[in-house]
Amino acid sequence: MTGADSGLLYRRIADSVMSTTNNLVRRDVLLETPDEVLHVEAIELAPAITDEDGDEVDGSTEPQAAPHKHPMVKIQPATNRIAHRELRIRVWSEGRPDGHHAGKTVTWSMAPLFVAPVEEGQQEGDPDFRGDWARAAAGHRDRFEAPADFTAEGFTRSSQQQATTVVDDTGHTAIRINLAPIAFNAARISAQLEGEDSAVELIDLEVPGIIVIDPGHGGDRNETSSTANNATSHTSRILEKELTLDFGLRTRTALRTLRVDDNTNLRIHMTRDEDVNPPGASRAHVGRDNGADILLSIHFNGFNGTARGTETLVRRSSDNVNHGEDVALAERVNEAVYQTVLAHDPGALDRGVKDQQLAVLSDTSLGNSANYHPLRAALVEIEFIDNLAVDELLNTRDNYEQVRQDIADAIADALIEDLRRNP
Ligand SMILES: [Zn+2]
């Protein structure tokens, strides 16, 4: 062993320092011993984060100090059933050669950060992990794995909770970190250097909440399980497919605003953002292939010109492995839409949550099975647009844009609530 003798008391003198290359506060823990100042520095994350369009997010591989929560990624989520990220660190001491700590063991551990929301007036519980590593594919059921994007010497599994690696000749080592792929599951990562009396907390990681918005219908041709259009507005003649797209885009904007304002790790995918008509199964696959937590399909009803009200549909329980979770989602969305319509129009009607057979909500297409069902799905029928009062409310009266936006904002809030509260 080189460097400081074990048993010496280390004194933490700083938990983070400003990066010399940009203005980010870097995770760099300094420890002072009687004869040296030791740095345990988070250097780099992998893989880089891309946005929903596939473009790389600036600075996403640069570790930052808490409270920043670095997003984790889901690679081939339906196959791997895990969220992960890799972290590379450097261990060094001022005035000593790079290899000063080479050969020392680093022990990796993590602590949960997610706190389940409680009703007003209730006491918050302790942080806990969401989900269970045991549902991941074989090879990803431990909290730590040997990294693949970075190299690390001497990876050794100690237990499901802990692993060790060895500092190399350049002073570096690295680790792959796994968490169950459930929205807002989060962990604080710690490393303990051999000979040091305590672990140092390095960075926080969080699984993003992933939402798919599916504007119903579209285009000019009927496809399997998706017609080009269904309902048409009473007097304005605005088509359902136009309204679903407008409400879908507004909901995406509302979610993006929450992402920035609340510093929330959120990813929002659309099954369409233009006038096209993907088949029902393709829409569900957007949820499955992106590792989504929620898929919400947006529609409008048409019937006899007088019926009205808000209803939300889920796939019936006989062929829906997570019917209860879907109903909870549907109730949140239905209540949010109904209350918002009611705030603008006393004629609002709550038609409730109903079971129905719908291709876009099929377990097979969503990637849900009896022992693994990460994706909740529902279809909201916001109102009956062939009703004159609804046509005026949503399409023609002076403040119709505000009414539309208020409904979209309410849907966005309900989706976030579902992400936080789904067990
Ligand atoms: Zn429809």
Contact 200, 259 (CB under 8 A): no
Contact 4, 32 (CB under 8 A): no
Residues 216, 202: one domain?
Answer: no
Residues 50, 135: one domain?
Answer: yes
Query: Ligand 1 mean position to 191 CA, how many Å?
Result: 53
Last-in-domain residue among 163, 181, 206: 206
Please report whether residue 2 resides in a domain: no
Residues 67, 101: one domain?
Answer: yes
If one counts the domains in the chain, the total is 2
Residues 295, 387: one domain?
Answer: yes
Supply the pLDDT for residue 7.
Answer: 36
Residues 79, 180: one domain?
Answer: yes
CATH number for the domain that contains residue 375: 3.40.630.40
Residues 267, 144: one domain?
Answer: no
Last-in-domain residue among 181, 206, 231: 206
Last-in-domain residue among 188, 206, 224: 206
Q: Distance (Å, rounded) from C-alpha 136 to C-alpha 24?
A: 34
Please report whether residue 118 resides in a domain: yes
Give Cα separations from 116 to 113, 305, 377 (angstroms). Answer: 10, 44, 22
Residues 184, 229: one domain?
Answer: no
Please report whether residue 302 resides in a domain: yes
Please report whether residue 6 resides in a domain: no
Grouping H, G, I as helix, E, B as strand and the rest as coil, residue 30 is strand
Record the pTM.
0.91
Query: Ligand 1 mean position to 422 CA, how many Å?
Result: 27
Query: Ligand 1 mean position to 319 CA, how many Å?
Result: 21
Supply the pLDDT for residue 361.
Answer: 87
Query: Ligand 1 mean position to 353 CA, how many Å?
Result: 16
Q: What is the pLDDT of residues 280-336, one digit of tens each?
A: 999 999 999 999 999 999 999 999 999 999 999 999 998 899 999 999 999 999 999
CATH number for the domain that contains residue 128: 2.60.40.10
Query: Ligand 1 mean position to 240 CA, how many Å?
Result: 7
Whether residue 47 is preceded by a cis peptide bond, meaning omega within 30 degrees of 0, is yes
Query: Ligand 1 mean position to 244 CA, how many Å?
Result: 8
Supply the pLDDT for residue 298.
Answer: 98
Please report whether residue 5 resides in a domain: no
Please report whether residue 325 resides in a domain: yes
Query: Ligand 1 mean position to 231 CA, how many Å?
Result: 7
User: Which is nearest to 349 in space by CA: 384, 399, 393?
Assistant: 384
Residues 357, 322: one domain?
Answer: yes
Give the range of the structural domain holding residue 341, as residue numbers without chain letter: 209-421
Query: Ligand 1 mean position to 291 CA, how many Å?
Result: 25
Q: Distance (Å, rounded) from C-alpha 197 to C-alpha 12?
A: 11
Please report whether residue 52 resides in a domain: yes
Query: Ligand 1 mean position to 242 CA, how many Å?
Result: 11
Query: Ligand 1 mean position to 343 CA, how many Å?
Result: 24
Cβ neighbours of residue 76 closer than 8 Å, sequence gap 6 or more:
none
Supply the pLDDT for residue 35.
Answer: 67
Query: Ligand 1 mean position to 254 CA, how many Å?
Result: 22
Residues 221, 200: one domain?
Answer: no
- Name the amino acid, one letter, at 410: A
* 173 token code pair: 């080592």
Q: Distance (Å, rounded) from C-alpha 257 to C-alpha 320?
A: 32
Query: Ligand 1 mean position to 375 CA, how many Å?
Result: 21
Residues 48, 21: one domain?
Answer: yes
Residues 200, 235: one domain?
Answer: no
Ranges of the chain with pLDDT below 50: 1-11, 13, 19-25
Q: Distance (Å, rounded) from C-alpha 407 to C-alpha 394?
A: 10
